[in-house]
Structure 1
Amino acid sequence: MDWTRDGKDWPNRNHSRFVRHRPHYWHIQEAGEGPVLLLLHGTGGATHSWRDVFPILARDYHVVALDLPGQGFTRMGARQRCGLDAMSQDISALLDGENLLPDAIVGHSAGAALALRMVRDLKRPPRAIVGINAALENFKGMAGWLFPMMARMMALNPFSASEISRWLGNATGVEYMIAGIGSHVSPEGLALYRRLVADRHHTDATLAMVAQWTLDGLWHDLPRIAVPTLLIVGDTDRAVPPEASVRAAQRLPNADLLRMPGLGHLAHEEAPEEVTARIAAFLAAHL
């Protein structure tokens, strides 16, 4: 993604800045005053995912959102550091270097897994965590072997990212993808996702992330994570089964589960005001 071309009308652009902190060149959005609140998007997303949530939360918090390595406008500096543990370590180091240790973290999908892993890696653990359709389990059965294997094979083929970007970037590719995860987003949201997936560097980084991703260690550690956690579940999510959040809540010692009927995997983009109100209520109780 090229900032001068693709970022000229990027959501909340006026709050963007870029930071070089090894090994990556990070795109960060930052606004508001108060306790530091970190927003982490899911696999294949970017800061645009928080476009409507970000300004609401910035009324009461110092909100920080970033693009994961190689995705959106963050330039990947080390391809081998796209797995859960490496990302957690690199983001924690970045925040420490910028004096932005979070008081709370809100993560969507894989971003929720990162939030929980960062409890171990941050110099000071957060006081609250919110996971939206948290992806905390590996794929089951054949999918557990097939999907990561496909990602590894595609990541080794330099033409794969371009081919996937070409397919998803056509007139109906993104609509098909979003409908497949049980969500309905605005035309603006669809256009932003189309812009992302049409960029082969973004797609390549997403493939690298999937190829290196494993949740076995985090799942084992959940009973030792005592940070108050809210797991928000969209009942029509087809990407992460709602039952996965139920099982995670049972393993976490201090977790609440909130079901939101009629919302899919991108619940915070489908109903930003409603979801943000639930986030704000939880944070107010713990910050």
Structure 2
Amino acid sequence: MVHYRTAAVQGRKVFYREAGDPKHPTVLLLHGFPTSSHMYRNLIPLLADRFHVVAPDLPGFGFTDVPARSEFQYTFDNLAKVIEGFTDVVGLKRYAMYVFDYGAPVGFRLALARPERVTAIISQNGNAYEEGLSADWDPLQKYWRDPTAANREVIRAFLTPEAVKWQYTHGVPDETLVAPESYTLDSALLARPDVDEIQLDLFLNYASNVALYPKFQEYFRTKRPPLLAIWGKHDPFFLPAGAEAYRRDIPAADVRFLDTGHFALETHAGEIAAAIRGFLGGAA
């Protein structure tokens, strides 16, 4: 059974999904844009018999509190600090982490801060290398270089319901496998007051993640965490080269590709769960 809980972290409520026996090895699931822990709804039951599975919503996403921009600066540093505090509140001492999209720079910050807590990493389209960035990042990179109001408005197009649905369906051979509640829920939550501006702030701050890539890579080289990169190979944002690059710093990394897009769990939850179970059998 999956439990739907909240934890008080730094004076705010963090929503999370939890399943499995806490005595078992923990897997921390970190979601990306524009979704929430809802993206893990199919994966959690497939892992919960062998693992303690915990999936929080980041601030500004899902059912976690959405503090006003005047009260909380929406940066990836601050998202990571909230999740670090969350792991303390709920008592996660050691954990493997599953990182996807935004969850990767959040999770890798946790690993830099507390490397002794990370037992293994599963990166599902979670990038840490510049060669993993596709040409679809060009408008965002222009915004990073020149954060004008005009360039911010161009980026707003990523927030429309059509753009959100496209992220789910692009590169998926059979779109009828993608549940419509996935992108519909994301769009509904994006439509809340001021959430669009929060997301635009995070788009701008994403440049800080690219700046940290060398530090993330140094962590991989020096700590050599067991790593499984399992990638939707038709992802329009994060190219297969980003998955292959992990082997440069972790030669033993297990790199696999799936015939799907960015949100690989929508179509391949069973395959990903089987890969995780085999991988963590020797790593967690």
Q: TM-score, normalised by structure 2?
A: 0.80
Of residues 1, 16, 20 in structure 1, which corresponds to 2:8?
20
Equivalent position of 1:119 in the other structure: 111
The runs of 5 or more residues in structure 1 that have no matched partner are: 1-11
Q: 1:188 to 1:243 in 2, by over 3 A?
A: closer
Of residues 85, 93, 117 in structure 2, which corresponds to 1:93?
85
- 1:286 equivalenced with 2:283 (yes/no): yes
How big is the shift at 1:235? 1.7
How big is the shift at 1:254? 5.0
How big is the shift at 1:183? 7.1
Equivalent position of 2:212 in the other structure: 218
Of residues 231, 234, 240 in structure 2, which corresponds to 1:233?
231
Note the aligned Cα RMSD (angstroms). Answer: 3.1
The runs of 5 or more residues in structure 2 that have no matched partner are: none
Conserved 8 A contact 2:165-2:183? no
* Cα separation, 2, equivalents of 1:16 and 1:286: 27
Question: 3-state DSSP class of the match of 2:118?
Answer: coil
Conserved 8 A contact 1:92-1:122? no
Question: 3-state DSSP class of the match of 1:286?
Answer: coil
How big is the shift at 1:150? 8.8
- Structure 1 residues 71-128: Cα deviation after superposition (integer angstroms, max 9, x where no partner): 1111133645433322222211211122123421111122123222211223742110
Equivalent position of 2:125 in the other structure: 133
Q: 1:258 to 1:135 in 2, by over 3 A?
A: same
- Structure 1 residues 172-202: Cα deviation after superposition (integer angstroms, max 9, x where no partner): 5544343346575557732232122133235
Question: 3-state DSSP class of the match of 1:74?
Answer: coil
- Structure 1 residues 217-262: Cα deviation after superposition (integer angstroms, max 9, x where no partner): 43112133321111112222222111122223313465321222x1
Question: 3-state DSSP class of the match of 2:282?
Answer: helix
Tell me the amino acid that sits aligned with residue 116 of structure 1. F
Equivalent position of 2:61 in the other structure: 71
Equivalent position of 1:209 in the other structure: 202
Q: 1:209 to 1:174 in 2, by over 3 A?
A: closer
275-284 or 99-108: which moved more? Answer: 99-108
- Structure 1 residues 30-65: Cα deviation after superposition (integer angstroms, max 9, x where no partner): 110111110011121111101110111111111100
Identical amino acids, percent of aligned pairs = 24
Conserved 8 A contact 2:99-2:107? yes
* Cα separation, 1, equivalents of 2:275 and 2:218: 24
* Cα separation, 1, equivalents of 2:78 and 2:150: 21
Question: 3-state DSSP class of the match of 1:59?
Answer: coil
Of residues 258, 269, 272 in structure 2, which corresponds to 1:272?
269
Question: 3-state DSSP class of the match of 1:285?
Answer: coil
How big is the shift at 1:164? 7.2
Q: 1:107 to 1:75 in 2, by over 3 A?
A: same
269-278 or 145-154: which moved more? Answer: 145-154
* Cα separation, 1, equivalents of 2:172 and 2:158: 21
Q: 1:241 to 1:164 in 2, by over 3 A?
A: closer
Matches within 5 A, 1:5-44: 15-22=3-10, 24-33=12-21, 34-44=24-34
Tell me the amino acid that sits aligned with residue 114 of structure 2. L
186-195 or 127-136: which moved more? Answer: 186-195
Question: 3-state DSSP class of the match of 2:121?
Answer: strand
Conserved 8 A contact 1:154-1:207? no
How big is the shift at 1:270? 0.9
Of residues 48, 51, 55 in structure 2, which corresponds to 1:58?
48
Of residues 83, 107, 127 in structure 1, which corresponds to 2:75?
83
Q: 1:182 to 1:212 in 2, by over 3 A?
A: farther
Question: 3-state DSSP class of the match of 1:129?
Answer: strand
Of residues 242, 245, 250 in structure 2, which corresponds to 1:244?
242
